[in-house]
């Protein structure tokens, strides 16, 4: 699946619930490798690959005579997950190019968080025989550092197991999500199907700023991660940014799907859900209670 495929795929998810046959009809062209499967197997394969789908049973409105009649529907699981309790995987990658066709991933950093607490981390360089000079200047990563690093395929297998069924979260999520997924498909692995959330889109809805680039917000909000353009550091900054954004969400936002919809402008909301004074209060409170971030990488 390409970047454009994912846009259409997640737009289709917005139309759920759907009757199983209609669901299969609309999605099967995204997955030609599963085209020979019957509808039940098709659904189970997608769910087995961590797509955020579930089966529900509903009485059809047009059939009132048969009280036992049930209609099999496919719905999205993220509507029933409280955003405070679900597991989120914050991810960032560094790569030698902006496309899988012209480059590869050279670093993946990720952390799994729940209720604002980090549960697990993933941080590794990836072997590449060549790193463009401009990438070295941006990230500090050079080919010498990657000589003994694990190969791309092995890292992708490990990362997929680490991600499991978590919500995939990143700053400008489309790039990281699609690059990782296309890399997996290049090694004959299934595409990523996890639900995803973009902290760039979310921050634009709640943070009053003329810029929403991660390094800028890192400094502006007092997150102060001392390293940027390295995968784990940026994943950590995205996590801390998300916690600030979560303080500013409207009260009606309860599920993780509400957060996703809110970030994408799918819910009605004020022009900004927080005032400048409110944001200052939140970010000041944040900075006072997270001073350990400043020295986290200096002491590593």
Query: With contact defined as beta carbons under 8 Å apart, do 216 and 241 qualify?
Result: no
pLDDT band (50, 70, 90) for residue 293: very low
Determine the pLDDT at residue 281: 52
* Tokens 């799994």 found at: 112
Quote the radius of gyration of the chain (alpha carbons, Å): 21
Q: Are strands 196-198 and 167-170 parallel, antiparallel or unpaired?
A: parallel
pLDDT at 271 over 60: no
What is the C-alpha to C-alpha distance for residues 136 and 143, in angstroms, rounded to an integer?
Answer: 9
Interatomic CA distance for residues 233 and 30, integer angstroms: 34
- What is the edge-to-edge ordering of all strands in the sheet holding 18-19? 18-19, 71-76, 53-58
User: What's the CA gap between 34 and 300, in Å, rounded?
Assistant: 46
Contacts (Cβ under 8 Å, ≥6 apart) of 168: 89, 91, 176, 177, 192, 194, 195, 196, 197
Q: pLDDT tens digits for 157-206? A: 999 999 999 999 999 999 999 999 999 999 999 999 999 999 999 999 99
- Start-to-end C-alpha separation, the chain: 38
Whether the model clears a pTM of 0.75, i.e. scores above it, the answer is yes
Cβ atoms < 10 Å from Cβ of 35: 9
**What integer is the mean pLDDT of 4-10?**
90
Contacts of residue 81, defined as CB under 8 A and 6 or more positions apart, other chains included, come to 255, 256, 257
Q: Confidence band (pLDDT; 50, 70, 90) for 38?
A: very high
* H helix or E strand, kind and range, residue 213: none
Give me the sheet containing 117-125, strands edge to edge: 117-125, 105-114, 88-95, 167-170, 196-198
Which residue do the tokens 């955003």 mark? Answer: 83
Tokens of 228: 């940027």
**What kind of architecture, by CATH, is found in domain 88-296?**
2-Layer Sandwich (3.30)
Q: Which helix H or strand E contains 88, and what residues bound it?
A: strand 88-95
Q: Which helix (H) or strand (E) holds 283?
A: helix 276-289
Domain boundaries defined on the chain? 3-79, 88-296
CB contact at 8 A, 260 and 194: no
Return the sign of the alpha-carbon dihedral for residues 269, 274, 275, 276.
negative
State the Cα–Cα distance between residues 193 and 201, nearest whole angstrom. Answer: 20
Q: What is the pLDDT of residues 216-256, one digit of tens each?
A: 999 999 998 888 889 999 999 999 999 999 999 999 999 99
Q: Is the preceding peptide bond at 17 cis, omega within 30 degrees of 0?
A: yes
């Amino acid at each position: 699946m390409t970047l454009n495929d994912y846009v259409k795929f997640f737009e289709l998810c917005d139309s759920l619930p759907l009757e199983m046959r209609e669901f299969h009809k609309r999605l099967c062209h995204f997955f030609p490798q599963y085209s020979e499967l019957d509808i039940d197997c098709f659904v189970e394969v997608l769910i087995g690959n961590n797509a955020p789908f579930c089966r529900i049973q509903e009485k059809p409105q047009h059939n009132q005579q048969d009280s036992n009649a049930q209609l099999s529907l496919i719905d999205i699981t993220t509507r029933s997950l409280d955003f405070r309790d679900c597991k989120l995987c914050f991810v960032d990658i560094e790569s030698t190019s902006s496309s899988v066709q012209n480059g590869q991933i050279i670093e993946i950093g990720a952390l799994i968080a729940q209720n604002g607490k980090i549960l697990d981390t993933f941080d590794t360089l990836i072997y590449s025989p060549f790193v463009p000079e401009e990438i070295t200047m941006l990230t500090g990563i050079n080919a010498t550092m990657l000589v003994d690093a694990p190969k791309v395929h092995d890292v992708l297998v490990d990362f997929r197991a680490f991600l499991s069924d978590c919500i995939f979260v990143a700053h400008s999520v489309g790039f990281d999500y699609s690059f990782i997924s296309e890399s997996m498909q290049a090694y004959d692995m299934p595409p990523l199907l996890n639900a995803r959330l973009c902290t760039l889109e979310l921050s634009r809805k709640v943070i009053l700023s003329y810029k929403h680039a991660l390094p800028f917000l890192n400094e502006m909000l007092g997150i102060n991660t001392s390293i940027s353009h390295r995968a784990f550091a940026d994943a950590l900054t995205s996590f801390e940014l998300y916690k600030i954004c979560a303080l500013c969400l409207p009260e009606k936002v309860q599920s993780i799907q509400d957060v996703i919809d809110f970030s994408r402008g799918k819910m009605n909301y004020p022009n900004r859900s927080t005032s400048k004074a409110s944001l200052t209060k939140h970010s000041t409170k944040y900075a006072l209670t997270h001073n350990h971030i400043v020295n986290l990488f200096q002491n590593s």
